[in-house]
Amino acid sequence: MNARERFNKVMHWQKADRVPNMDFGYWNETIPIWHTQGLPKEIKNAVQLEKHLKLEGMDSIPTISLRNAFLPGFKREVLEDKGDHQIIIDGNGVICEISKTAVSIPKYIKYSLETREDWDKIKKEKLDPLVKGRVLPKEQWKKLVDTAHAEGMPVRVSVGSLYGWLRNWMGVENFSIAMMTDKDWVEDMMEHLTQMTLYMIDQTLPGLEVDFAAWWEDMAYNHGPLCSPKLFEELMVPRYKRITDKLKTYGIDVNVLDCDGCIYELVPGWLESGINCMFPIEAAWTDPLELRKRWGKKALLIGGVNKLELAKGKAAIDAELAKLKPLIDDGGYIPTVDHRVPPDVSYENYLYYIEQKLKIL
C-alpha cells in the first residue's frame, strides 16, 4: 500500500498493511541544531527531512489552499528595528513586535480589525469573493492532484477558519468582547467567511479527487476553550455543518481540525458539525485515550505523542508509545508528535522515536 491508501483506510476504520508513518513538522530552530547532531547539512526544511526519514507527511501532503482569507493581504513592513526585535506590520495588517532570532508569540500592539467600520472596509477591500485571483486555474489544481496521487500521496483541501482568523485579525480580548456584546457583528463576519468558503469550494473542487479537508481553529488554551461553548455551538457549529455538507458533495467526508490546548468541551460541537478528526491533540492538556473513551468511533484522531517525552530519552519514548499502542490497534488513529518538534529533542532521540514507532504501526 502507498501513503494515500493507508491514510484513507485508517481514516475510514478499515484495515491497512500498517498505519501511516506520519509526523507533524519541526520548529525553525530544530533543524539547524540537528545539523550539529548528525543530520546531513543538505536537509534544510521539513519536507526534505520527511523525505530523508521516509515519513509520509504531514508537511509533505500536497494542499489545495482555498483563497478565502485576505486578498490582497497586507504588505509586510518593518516599522522599527530594535536590535534583536522588530516592530512590523504583518500580512494580516497587525502591528506587532517580533524576535529576529527565535520563534515566539509576538507582542501585539494594534490589530487591523477593531471596529465595525474596520470590518466594512476590510470586507470590501480584502474579502471580496469575486476579486481577480481569488479562484486559481483548475489546471493548476488538477496537475497537483494527479501528481500527488501518482506518487501515492493523499491530497487535502485547506478550508480555513472561522474563529481563528477573526481572532488573529482582532485579538483574543477584542474578539471575546465582541462575541459577548455585539453578536450580530460577529455573525456578519462569520457568515461572510462561510459564504466565501462555500463559493470557493464550488469554484475549486469539481472534477478533483481530494482525500480530506483541513481546518485551523486554535481556540483553546491549557484549561479549555477561549470562548463559551454555548456561543461556539450557536455561532459556529451550524456554519461548519453547511461547509462539511458541501464538502460531502465532492466526496470529502474526513475533516481534520487543528486546535491546540484543552479541547474536550469543543469536541461535541465539532462532531455534530461533521468535523470528525481531532489534531494534533496536545497531550499535556488533551489525552487521546480520553477522547477515544468519551467519543469512541465518532472521533478520528491524529497526533497525541507528547513532545515533552521525546526530550527525556529512550525509556520515556518507549513508555509514551506503549501507552498509545492500544489506540493504534483500535484504529482510526495516526500517531504523530502533538505539535512541531522543539529543539530540546535531540536528533538521536527523534530517530529512536521514529524507529520504535514504525515497529508498532
Q: Per the structure block, which three cell numbers stand in for 253?
A: 467526508
Strands 277-279, 333-334: pairing is unpaired
* Tens digit of each residue's pLDDT, the chain (361 residues): 999 999 999 999 999 999 999 999 999 899 999 999 999 999 999 999 999 999 998 899 999 999 999 999 999 999 999 988 999 999 999 999 999 877 778 999 999 999 999 999 999 999 999 999 999 999 999 999 999 999 999 999 999 999 999 999 999 999 999 999 999 999 999 999 999 999 999 999 999 999 999 999 999 999 999 999 999 999 999 999 999 999 999 999 999 999 999 999 999 999 999 999 999 999 999 999 999 999 999 999 999 999 999 999 999 999 999 999 999 999 999 999 999 999 999 999 999 999 999 999 9
Instruction: List the beta strands (DSSP E) in 9-102.
Output: 63-65, 77-81, 85-89, 95-99
CA–CA separation, 254 vs 276, rounded Å? 6
CA–CA separation, 258 vs 277, rounded Å? 9
pLDDT of residue 241: 98
Q: Per the structure block, which three cell numbers stand in for 6?
A: 493507508
Per-residue DSSP letter, 296: G
Side chain identity at 79, as an amino acid letter?
L
pLDDT of residue 104: 75
CA–CA separation, 5 vs 82, rounded Å? 50
Q: How many C-beta atoms lie closer than 10 Å to residue 54's C-beta? A: 9
pLDDT of residue 247: 98
Q: Looking up cell 496536545, which residue turns up?
A: 282
Q: What's the CATH fold of domain 3-72+112-360?
A: TIM Barrel (3.20.20)
Short-list 259, 256, 295, CA closest to 276:
256
CA–CA separation, 253 vs 230, rounded Å? 25
| Structural domain boundaries in the chain | 3-72+112-360, 75-111
Q: Looking up cell 527525556, which residue turns up?
A: 312
